[in-house]
Structure 1
Amino acid sequence: MVSAAPVRRAAAPVSARPPVSSRAVVAAALLVAAVAVTWLAFWWIGLSAASLAAGLDDTARLLARMWPPDLPGAADVARMVAETLLIAVAGTGLAALASVPLAFVAARTHRGPRWLRPVARTVVVLTRAVPTLAFAILFVRIFGLGPPAGALAVAVHSVGMIAKLLADAVEEADPAPAEAARACGAGEAQVAVSAVLPRVLPALTAIVLYRLDINIRASAVLGVVGAGGIGVALQTALGSLNYHRAAGIICVIVVLVLLLELLSVALRRRTGAGRAAGDTPRRRTRAGRAAGGTLRRRTRAGGATGTAALPAGRTPYDVGWDRRRVLRAAGAVTVTAVFLVSLAALSPDPGRLAGAWPNLRDLLAGLWPPAFTGDLLMAVLESLLMALGAAAAGAACGLALALLTAAGTTPWRPLSAVVRVLLVVVRGVPDLVYALLFVAALGLGPFAGFLALWISSTALAAKLFADSLEQLDPLPYKALTAAGARPWQAFTAGTWPRFVPSFTGNGLFVADLALRESVVLGIAGAGGVGYLMQESIATLRYDTTAAIVIAIAVVVYAIETLARIARRHLL
């Protein structure tokens, strides 16, 4: 018999292309969605090259009318700046006090009643979703005009951010000390105060300093709705068409914000809050070595040689007062004194606060049921399109500016320095100020709000993108250029694939901030849902106010969820 030869199957062709990853799919989907939303926003607003050129021409004529700036007197400037700073400090201090217990309850490590955690997380989300200026409108209605309403607005909105970031720090803290305290019979409050809070105190310091910087910017424009600060003078000048005085007040706001930003950076470097968690045993302080170190000193006792755990003359429970500990105690006392002085300087009238109860009762009684209407949903959609379109356009322009400023991609170092200074100045002007200027130049409507958000989103995106580009490893780019690749080829092949996660994450962060600010800009007449909120409170239609707040919270939470999913797939 002749055996049949084995039949060989043809090998399947090997594909030279790698399989499509979920990361690439998510990145492509986000890019397509950004392009589609930007086109829809341009169509909705009626933005075109001709309208943009006409709008810029009107804005240029308005700026020409504002020159030269008319600065207020030194006494008036000092009073307005002091009131703005007091509002920010008092609000941040109140928020820090309220955020510490809220963060411990909202953290996943909480061992108390289970129903408290979802309640705490709901409070964190709601307070973070509603902008400061929206809270200011509510508190002005409840407590009347003046700085106390502004301080409460700053405090309530700041609770969301401080509590969220502090809860993350509590969850990441070493659980061993807390477990040891529980094993000794300590309650949850004792565990939080003695075992967890000291370990997250550096993170809390950094968070509060960062939030104070944000609150000072926000406090500068709270006066637009009557909540005190330098914004009152700005609104008065614009309302009376005194553009020279408005320009002078804007200059004061910009200088104030820039100086405080430099001070905030210096304080963060001085305190070293971000480095506290990463200290190594080699860098322990003298107090730390005395309390828990293993300093060994040879002693002679009857001819025998032994070791002593502590220096002679110091009891085990006395860790001593060194220079570092004295400075920390003095700093804590100083911060407490400044906070108390800021509260007292706001002159809260007890009778006025007691009389606010009927207003608060009427507001709470009128919030339910929320009144959702077609006009409200269209206004929310307008705010959403305005914010996402401006964020997408700002991300594109910010990327171009980031390539000019980043150390590894700039074509000329002096150009990088000039662009960086320009971006700092642009970021120093609050979004609402841009909106007021564009409304004065172009009239009411979403076109003015879109331009204001576009400018602020471009400046913020450029800073974030430049920082991310400088943190990337430059070796792939240098290797490709050394092999003969042109700069754009080296960037496309060596830098861009590793920059995509940061680009996406920072772009979504810019969109989140733009969405919050779009609500605020409507108060100045720059389109969106903000105008409806201010009108509903002025006319006592609190059911509409409740519907607006719920709609804003849902949209902001959806954007945050999208950003979290994108980061999980891209990072």
Structure 2
Amino acid sequence: MSGTTRQIVEDPRTPRPGSREPRDGQRPSAPRTSPPGSKRPRVSAATLGIPLAYLAVTVFGVWWIDIRPAAVAAGFGDIARLLERMVPPTTGPVSDLLTLALETLWIAIAGTGLATIASVFLAAAASRHFTGPKLVRWLAQGIIIVTRAVPSLIFAILFVRIFGLGPLAGGLAIAVHSIGMIGKMMADVFEEQSPSPREAIASVGASRLQNFVSTTLTRALPAVTSLVIYRLDINVRASAVLGLVGAGGIGVALQTAIGSLNYRRAAGIILVIVALLLILELVAYLVQRAVAEHADEHTQSQLHVAGSTPAAPGWNRSRVLRSAAAASAVILFLYSLSQLSLNLSRLGQAWNNALALLSGFVPPVFTEEILLGIFESVIMAFTATFFGVLVGLVIAVLSTRHLVRFEPLSLALRGIVVFMRGIPDIVYALIFVAALGLGPFAGFLALSISCTALASKFFTDSLQNIDPAPLRALEATGAGRIQVFVSGVWPQFVPSFIGNSLFTSDLALRESAVLGIVGAGGIGFLLDESVATLHYQQTAGILIGLIVVVVALESVARWARRKVI
């Protein structure tokens, strides 16, 4: 999706507990003020260097992608004519579409559940508090990094080759990629806990497993629950397009409709995807409120009421609801697994396919074509981020109530952003390729829309949570709106602006790596072709290159956050 999280690889919506990276709605620190006559603090190198680097890359990207005003105007004309051909939308056989929509949901639930189970063990091993062999910790951290760096659609391509067409490949792709985010953030949750309970349990002779379950895991459950619900929302968006590479779900119908030039049915399918995602976003929001600690004034801080004996805690309404919800989640997860078309014969064949795939990876091949494709993906991502951040900042300022006090405008802009985020990036790319033809220009436009929606969401939440006292003080002195923004808002907003812009780039880079699958430029086309033609050494080279680029960007982001935030 487009959408969903900065702390992680995929489109965030709500604050994720336990992460050390900037979150939606996280309140930036108030600007430090110096006493009269003192020197002004030096501006961080990251504060100036990062925007200048984005500007330099964007100037080059405008030339590389051939973004000219005349070409943009002509392109929007072609897109308008395509949209006219998509009206009125139709869905075709509703029963078939409903079946595919449910299959999308089962893929997301099964993948999220599998990733959660695996992430508990990986996060425990990757945490700084892990007392086992260092090799195990390094291996767990490496798995988390690699699975986070490779997009789910790329995993889907590989698993389709191993397991064949169908939802099983999609569910496993969602699971493996989700480990990167869930495992990383779960490890952060474990690390941020106070060590006192662990030390107390260890002092009475408890084993390492007993200590972990009774202290670390138990205290992390509320945060982990919120994290998993948020990840499920992201995975539904991702699984909606896995059918484009044969991994099941409603994307199969979308690819068929566009491939057969049935644009009205394609429009109807896109609307169904958007409706499904918006409904699930609302459900996720309600569930997160329900599981949040002290979600309302009636929530009690105690976990259980007193039972008949101190060793037997009693049952109250809250405990009954939590237990019922947990049981329902387990049943739903098990049912979703049964819908992935899993059978023993396919597993036996998959093992041979996996061995052939992995053995073909060695030695990896790096060619000029691979480097050029990765380079084009990076240029697309950074150029789209630059334009998306600028437009997103304007939308965020106009959507923030204590900056622009016009409620209808704020609500309208927020609704537009929600709708924009509801359409996955690759769907935008499909539309632009159909209207404009193959090439990076279509991918740039798709990523620009995604970056605009994502950045505006992040920025709006951050602006809503700045300290309003400096703003009101400036207004009391007769300062204008622009003066209030420059002197009162911007100093507080800079850390969030830098951090969220970097995270938007991170997500855009992952997405740009797969847009080539539908012909929208970048390395995706070459990757898909290498798997389809069994050139696995080339596939390995592409994957290694993507991992190196993503890890390098994450390292720059961590450095910038230390300097700015």
Q: Normalization by structure 1: what TM-score? A: 0.90
Answer whether contact 2:151 2:511 (CA < 8 A) is retained: yes
**Amino acid of the structure 1 residue aligned with 2:42:** S
1:168 aligns with 2:162: no
1:238 aligns with 2:258: yes
Of residues 224, 228, 243, the one that matches 1:223 is 243
1:266 aligns with 2:280: no
**Amino acid of the structure 2 residue aligned with 1:209:** I
**Amino acid of the structure 2 residue aligned with 1:413:** E
Q: Residues 346-374 of structure 1: CA distance to partner in whole angstroms, max 9, x if unpaired?
A: 22121111111111111010111110011
Q: Counterpart in 2 of 1:287?
A: 304
Q: Counterpart in 1 of 2:423?
A: 429
Give distance in 2, aligned partners of 1:501 and 1:235.
41
Q: Counterpart in 2 of 1:557?
A: 551
Give distance in 2, aligned partners of 1:412 and 1:205.
36
Give distance in 2, aligned partners of 1:347 and 1:134.
21
Q: Counterpart in 2 of 1:300?
A: none
Give distance in 2, aligned partners of 1:332 and 1:399.
40
Match runs of 1:122-521 below 5 Å = 122-272=142-292, 283-285=300-302, 287=304, 290=306, 314-521=308-515
Match runs of 1:77-156 below 5 Å = 77-156=97-176
Task: Tell me by how many angstroms 1:284 deviates.
Answer: 2.8
Distance 1:449 1:406, change over 3 A: same
Give distance in 1, aligned partners of 2:516 and 2:303.
56
Q: Counterpart in 1 of 2:59?
A: 39
Task: Tell me by how many angstroms 1:565 deviates.
Answer: 1.0
Q: Counterpart in 1 of 2:47?
A: 27
Q: Counterpart in 1 of 2:563?
A: 569
Distance 1:279 1:158, change over 3 A: farther
**Amino acid of the structure 2 residue aligned with 1:549:** L
Q: Residues 400-438 of structure 1: CA distance to partner in whole angstroms, max 9, x if unpaired?
A: 111110111125211111111111101100000000000
Task: Tell me by how many angstroms 1:279 deviates.
Answer: 11
**Amino acid of the structure 1 residue aligned with 2:496:** S
Answer whether contact 2:161 2:353 (CA < 8 A) is retained: yes
| Residue ranges of structure 1 left out of the alignment (5+ in a row) | 1-14, 292-313
When the two structures are aligned, how many residues end up with a matched partner?
A: 530
Q: Residues 196-238 of structure 1: CA distance to partner in whole angstroms, max 9, x if unpaired?
A: 1100011110110000000000010000000000000000011
Q: Counterpart in 2 of 1:523?
A: 517
Q: Counterpart in 1 of 2:92?
A: 72
The DSSP-based 3-state class of the residue aligned with 2:315 is: coil
Task: Tell me by how many angstroms 1:22 deviates.
Answer: 4.9
The DSSP-based 3-state class of the residue aligned with 2:304 is: helix
Give distance in 2, aligned partners of 1:416 and 1:20.
35
Give distance in 2, aligned partners of 1:144 and 1:564.
39
Answer whether contact 1:480 1:490 (CA < 8 A) is retained: yes
Greater RCO, 1 or 2 (C-alpha within 8 Å, sep 6+): 2
The DSSP-based 3-state class of the residue aligned with 1:567 is: helix
Q: Residues 245-274 of structure 1: CA distance to partner in whole angstroms, max 9, x if unpaired?
A: 11111111111111111111111011115x
* RMSD, matched Cα: 1.8
Give distance in 1, aligned partners of 2:445 and 2:281.
24
Task: Tell me by how many angstroms 1:182 deviates.
Answer: 1.6
Task: Tell me by how many angstroms 1:323 deviates.
Answer: 2.1
Task: Tell me by how many angstroms 1:74 deviates.
Answer: 2.6
Of residues 17, 25, 39, the one that matches 1:18 is 39
Q: Residues 164-202 of structure 1: CA distance to partner in whole angstroms, max 9, x if unpaired?
A: 000000001121111122222222222111221100011
Distance 1:353 1:279, change over 3 A: farther
**Amino acid of the structure 1 residue aligned with 2:386:** A
Task: Tell me by how many angstroms 1:90 deviates.
Answer: 0.5
Q: Normalization by structure 2: what TM-score? A: 0.91
Q: Counterpart in 2 of 1:303?
A: none
**Amino acid of the structure 1 residue aligned with 2:558:** R
1:48 aligns with 2:58: no
Answer whether contact 1:22 1:569 (CA < 8 A) is retained: no
Give distance in 2, aligned partners of 1:70 and 1:324.
45
Q: Residues 84-123 of structure 1: CA distance to partner in whole angstroms, max 9, x if unpaired?
A: 0000000000001100010000000001111111110000
Answer whether contact 1:87 1:229 (CA < 8 A) is retained: yes
Task: Tell me by how many angstroms 1:328 deviates.
Answer: 1.6
Q: Counterpart in 2 of 1:311?
A: none
Task: Tell me by how many angstroms 1:530 deviates.
Answer: 0.6
Answer whether contact 2:97 2:253 (CA < 8 A) is retained: no
Q: Counterpart in 2 of 1:62?
A: 82
Distance 1:286 1:498, change over 3 A: closer
Task: Tell me by how many angstroms 1:77 deviates.
Answer: 2.4
Answer whether contact 1:370 1:544 (CA < 8 A) is retained: yes
Give distance in 2, aligned partners of 1:221 and 1:374.
30
Give distance in 2, aligned partners of 1:501 and 1:522.
33
Answer whether contact 2:166 2:341 (CA < 8 A) is retained: no
The DSSP-based 3-state class of the residue aligned with 2:257 is: helix
Distance 1:32 1:16, change over 3 A: farther
Answer whether contact 1:72 1:249 (CA < 8 A) is retained: no
**Amino acid of the structure 2 residue aligned with 1:111:** T
Give distance in 1, aligned partners of 2:301 and 2:352.
56
Give distance in 2, aligned partners of 1:284 and 1:243.
54
**Amino acid of the structure 2 residue aligned with 1:317:** A
Q: Residues 428-449 of structure 1: CA distance to partner in whole angstroms, max 9, x if unpaired?
A: 0000000000000111110000
| Residue ranges of structure 2 left out of the alignment (5+ in a row) | 1-35
Answer whether contact 2:57 2:382 (CA < 8 A) is retained: yes
**Amino acid of the structure 1 residue aligned with 2:212:** A
Instruction: Give identity over the alignment, percent.
Output: 53
Q: Counterpart in 1 of 2:538?
A: 544
Which runs of 4 or more aligned residues in structure 1 lie more than 6 Å from their structure 2 counterparts after TM superposition? none
Give distance in 2, aligned partners of 1:341 and 1:550.
36
